[in-house]
A and B are shown apart, each in its own frame.
Chain A
Amino acid sequence: MTADPDTLAADPDPDGAAAAAVAPQLTLGPILYNWPAETIADFYRRIADEAPVDVVYVGEVVCSKRAPTLETQLPEVIDRLRRGGKRVVLSTLALIMSEREAAWVAELAEASPVIVEANDVSTIRLMTGRRHVVGPFVNIYNEGGLAVVARAGATIVALPSELPAPALGALARAAAAMPVALEVQVFGRLPLAISSRCYHARSRGLHRDGCQFVCGDDPDGLAVDTLDDQPFLAINGTQTLSHKVASLIDELHTLTRLGIRRFRLWPQAVDMVAVAELHREVLSDALAPDAGAARLSQLVTFAPFANGYFKGVAGVRHVGNAAAMS
């Protein structure tokens, strides 16, 4: 990818932070899984043309070994999304260990034609003094953490998924004064952990160094069941996700009232245009929240929904609104 500072400068609001102050923004997170190049190209073509999202995050977050394939695609993907009227953010690696990985992320970020999402503190250091997004793999749990990254130049902070509603409210109050726009994950399997070990490789008796890219076999992750055959987690290379799909589609209005202005959808191997449309309709009051949730559950058949973290209980749980009030 080549640097294109002119393009970046041409948009006075390249990450949509200002737009978020006016109206809630729907964002599409980076693809976390190892999808084939053609699937990725098709996916973003359709997102560019049809999905009612304001911002699209692209880039490899989970495993540096997958990067070369995606990287060659990125210029075209970014261009295509922009022509579709989307703002684009370049997401970067969450766990940076080797010198090779650090150099790769630095090179990518320095040359990025779009705003960069930092998912490691090292990338925040790299972007200090420049406008950037802090991603959900950086631990921002409180006002003090928020203030530190805001001083470094973050205009958007995507929060970790385990924060309960009162914490989101407290953070939103602090963020408004900085000013930083906060983003919360409202759809998709929850990224729960990252490791230096590849569990996909391990499941085939391989090491990460010789992984044969077996993570490519599972577009929504490899199912981990308990010994009692209860669906439990999903493996995505070095990442572990929830089996359940987190959904806050029926809490979008609550989140808006708390001061959250950006809502992230994680790509899953379902009709993401339809997923985005449902969230957009609920946000614009064209669809009642419970009706939105019901229709969303018809689109997502591989796992039930959970909202436990938002409700202040175990993330795996789903707490109905009636139960929450009792």
Chain B
Amino acid sequence: MMPPSPALARRRTVPPRAAPATADAAAPGTAAMVRPLELVCPAGNPAALRTAVDAGADVVYVGFRDETNARNFPGLNFSPQELATGIAYAHQRGTQVYVAINTYPAAGNPGPWHRALGAAEQAGADAVILADLGLLDHAARRHPTMRRHLSVQASASNPAAIRFYHEMFGVRRVVLPRVLTIDEIARLNTQIPVETEVFAFGGLCVMAEGRCMLSSYVTGQSPNINGVCSPADCVRYDQEETRLVTRLGGFTINTFADGEPAGYPTLCKGRFKLNGRASYVFEEPVSLNVLPMLGALMAARVTALKIEGRQRGRAYVGRVVQAFRRAVDAAARGQPVPEDLLADVTEGARMTAGALSRSWK
């Protein structure tokens, strides 16, 4: 059973939405409820933020409309004013807002990143999500009261690395890279003084995040510097006789027969040849889904689940957040995750638990 988290309770500036921090006397005949996994949900624009709040998010995470965050896509993200309005909406309804400032500031030009920290603090963000050593240092010195989380882009995958960020910069939570098994996460949580947040659903990086330059190798734009991976302006869909070829930066990422649905050419989900034989060398076009493992994640003392997808529309966000709200509440009551939820959120797509299962490696 997951014990109540005093840190979490202290931090709340708004009333918690779901269960109180301690085991609760639930309705007669039902099991006592422990604190559910905190649900950290994506929003790429103000409408998606409101949708996520209304659908039951504990936290919505967002980014500014520039290269300071790792979902720097055209038409996405928030201005400082939109952020302030969004935070007001969320706080009125008991939901927190985290701001991701999780790219690596450019040498010689830290201004945009430093201004983003100031804007997040001024708008009343509940935490900032950072990756860069220099930016963490700057935030700890200049914005000491603003809660700091470590982005997955920092790729902190072991206790000593996480302790370094905690000791040096007062980091209070780490978003774990998608490289650890659930047993490794459980061990880790007994060895670190900070909370952990685990990716639960959506896009799946198969490489250690923040340590992957595949995108910049072929497109010149990287997650670390530009906040993009396999960017749309480098993508081509070429109809060649009876096949559709998807290309990234001029390199063929996959081909599809006529009528076959063509996926987006994310480099690590492409089909390539080894010794003349075609296969999905790195990973099939699958998505991450930990719904079947919620009990194990609670037992591993994970604090929060992160849903990927700031680039997704509000309909998607609403559906996935609602499903996860029901699922984490059920898990907190010790009940199995309702079967229909799985079908609801997966839409027939192929799903994996990724590195959480040892056999994935």
Contact = CB atoms under 8 A, between A and B. Distances in A.
Interface stretch (B14-22, B34-42, B209-217): B209-217
A149 B281 CA distance: 36
Interface residues of B, number: 70
A242 B107 contact: no
A275 to B, nearest CB: 22
A194 B214 CA distance: 10
Given A143-B134, A199-B282, A240 B207 contact: yes
A229 interface: yes
Given A161-B213, A314-B219, A314-B220, A97 B134 contact: no
Q: How large is the interface on A (under 10, 10 to 19, 20 to 34, 35 or more residues)?
A: 35 or more
Interface string B130-166: 0111111110000000000000001111111101110
Given A194-B207, A226-B251, A314-B216, A142 B187 contact: no
B15 to A, nearest CB: 37
Interface stretch (A42-50, A76-84, A117-125, A260-268): A117-125
A147 B180 CA distance: 30
Interface stretch (B50-58, B74-82, B271-279): B271-279
A95 B208 contact: yes
Contacts of B283: 197
Nearest to A120: B161
Given A227-B255, A230-B252, A196 B208 contact: yes
A316 B225 CA distance: 17
A193 B273 CA distance: 18
Nearest to B279: A203
Contact of B110 (A94, A124, A142): A142
A226 B273 contact: yes
Interface string A40-81: 000000000000000000000000000000000000000000
Interface stretch (B295-303, B313-321, B352-360): B352-360
Nearest to A311: B220
B132 A139 contact: yes
- The interface centre, meaning the residue of B107, B157, B251, B281 with most chain A CB atoms within 10 A of its CB, is B107
Interface string A290-315: 00000000000000000011001111
B211 A139 contact: yes
B336 interface: no
Interface string A207-219: 1110000000000
A143 B164 CA distance: 19
A277 interface: no
Contacts of B361: 196-198, 207-209
A141 B224 contact: yes
Nearest to A148: B133
A163 B107 contact: yes
Contacts of B168: 148
Interface stretch (A3-11, A16-24, A27-35, A164-172): A164-172
Given A147-B137, A170-B107, A195-B206, A141 B225 contact: yes
Contacts of B206: 195, 197
Given A125-B163, A149-B133, A195-B207, A224 B110 contact: no
B134 A193 contact: no
Contact of A232 (B110, B158, B251): B251
Contacts of A198: 361
Nearest to B216: A162
A227 B160 CA distance: 42
A166 B160 contact: no
Contact of A225 (B107, B136, B137, B273): B273
Contact of A162 (B110, B187, B224, B268): B224
Contacts of A166: 107-108
A80 to B, nearest CB: 32
A293 B210 CA distance: 32
Contact of A97 (B180, B219, B255, B279): B180
Interface in A140-179: 140-149, 160-163, 166-168, 170-171, 174
A312 B138 CA distance: 27
B251 A167 contact: no
A181 B174 CA distance: 31
B138 A162 contact: no
A69 B106 CA distance: 40
A222 interface: yes
B274 A203 contact: yes
Contacts of B278: 227
Interface of B: 104-108, 110, 131-138, 154-161, 163-165, 167-168, 179-180, 184, 187, 206-208, 210-214, 216-220, 222, 224-225, 245, 249, 251-255, 268, 271-275, 278-279, 281-283, 355, 358-361
Closest 6 CB pairs of A and B: A144-B134, A122-B160, A170-B108, A196-B179, A141-B104, A122-B161
Given A193-B208, A228-B252, 11 more contacts: A125-B167, A141-B105, A141-B106, A142-B108, A162-B224, A192-B217, A197-B355, A225-B272, A240-B207, A242-B217, A315-B218
15 contacts: A95-B155, A95-B211, A97-B157, A143-B134, A144-B134, A162-B222, A166-B108, A167-B108, A192-B212, A194-B208, A197-B206, A226-B253, A233-B272, A240-B214, A314-B249
